Amino acid sequence: METRMKSSTRTEKGTVIVDVVGQIDIGNSPVLRKTLLESLKGTERIAINMIEVKYIDSSGIASLLEVLKEAQDSKKMLVLFGVTGAVLQVLQLTRLTGIFEIRETEEQAIEV
């Protein structure tokens, strides 16, 4: 199973979208956290594309929570979209589906 994670950023309708591919784990969550925090600096709204993320561990969840807190403290919006399978199960088990703004599609995520 592929364990490397890649991310890239793009902007659609004023929203910075971070496309994440691969597994988010202790080995790469610090890199993702840095990418997300940097992306947050330049926008009022960030959307994280989780469609190609099949696994996330507790360090990945912690990174997402840290970025969410920074977004809230800065009066900015963070949205997750395309969350499915094991990643959705982890968010449900940790009762974080009510904490994160989660949308099914990119179109829904970039709506203002």
C-alpha span between 97 and 108 (Å, rounded):
16
Task: Output the DSSP codes for 3-53.
Answer: --EEEEEEEETTEEEEEEEEEE-TTTHHHHHHHHHHHHHT-SEEEEEEEEE
Cβ contact 25:59 at 8 Å: yes
Q: Which two tokens stand for residue 30?
A: 């610090």
pLDDT of residue 4: 84
C-alpha span between 112 and 107 (Å, rounded):
10
pTM for the structure as a whole: 0.94
- Per-10-residue mean pLDDT of the chain, 112 residues long, equals 81 96 95 96 95 96 98 97 95 96 96 74
| Greatest C-alpha distance within the chain | 38
